[in-house]
Chains A and B, each alone.
Chain A
Amino acid sequence: EVQLVESGGGLVQPGGSLRLSCTASNFTFSSYSMAWVRQAPGKGLEWIAYISRSTVNIFYADSIKGRFTISRDNAGNSVYLQMNSLRVEDTAVYYCARSPVNSYWLTYYFDSWGEGTLVTVSS
């Protein structure tokens, strides 16, 4: 069974930084793209960052562009989200998600998800 385990969430003051980690297991990590999707309390889902298998393609939502950075370590089966200049509106559960790869059609959907880690930005 595919496993994605997020860590690194917590309480941080506005303007602060956090680094989220996601460790993957039970699949060939380097064969998949990865993404972060967040969900504010009581709200819907918001895709925020994506990284391809070899890191050639990296995409961000406008809401976090310039403040957050996604990266990955294929040897360590991990993906990261460095979050700087955090705002109150960044408060959410952050999910790590796997995105399949296909040569013939777009596959920017998410076929496996972690349980999420809560980030609370508050003074």
Chain B
Amino acid sequence: EIVLTQSPGTLSLSPGERATLSCRASQSVIGSYLAWYQQKTGQAPRLLIYGSSSRATGIPDRFSGSGSGTAFTLTISRVEAEDFAVYYCQQYGSSPWTFGQGTKVEIK
């Protein structure tokens, strides 16, 4: 089973700042099959990125994903008030498909 480790655990930012979230895999993620989700308190997750770097439908271009192998990054170019949430990465190249433990982006 591929273990995904996200860092930092919490990211404190002011609106307008850049957010860089890391997701590291215990072994190489086949085909860069990695997705990112956003979850706000009390809500269901929302798909942001799939295939490491492809934005899902309706996702603003301030969200971008990159990486391959064992190291992946989600970047929010300029954080807006609505972006404060928990972010999860998920690998889907090898069963069982696994999620990271999450990074919380909070208002500084």
Please give the residue numbers on chain A whose beta carbons come within 8 Å of chain B beta carbons, in ascending order. 37, 44-47, 59, 61-62, 95, 105-116
Task: List residues of chain B with CB within 8 A of the CB of A110.
Answer: 35, 37, 45, 47, 90
Besides A109-B90, A109-B92, 8 other A-B contacts (C-beta < 8 A): A47-B96, A59-B95, A106-B30, A108-B97, A110-B47, A111-B57, A112-B47, A115-B43
> Which one of A95, A106, A114, A116 has the greatest number of beta carbons of chain B within 10 Å?
A106
Residue from A105, A108, A115 within 8 A of B44 (CB atoms):
A115
Chain B at the A interface: SS class: loop
Q: How far is the CA of A45 from the CA of B96 in the complex (A)?
A: 13
Within 8 A of A (CB), among B56-108: 56-57, 88, 90, 92-93, 95-102
Listed by A's residue number, 17 A-B pairs whose Cβ atoms lie within 8 Å are: A37-B45, A45-B99, A47-B99, A59-B95, A59-B96, A62-B96, A95-B45, A105-B51, A106-B33, A108-B97, A109-B33, A109-B50, A110-B37, A110-B45, A111-B50, A113-B44, A113-B46
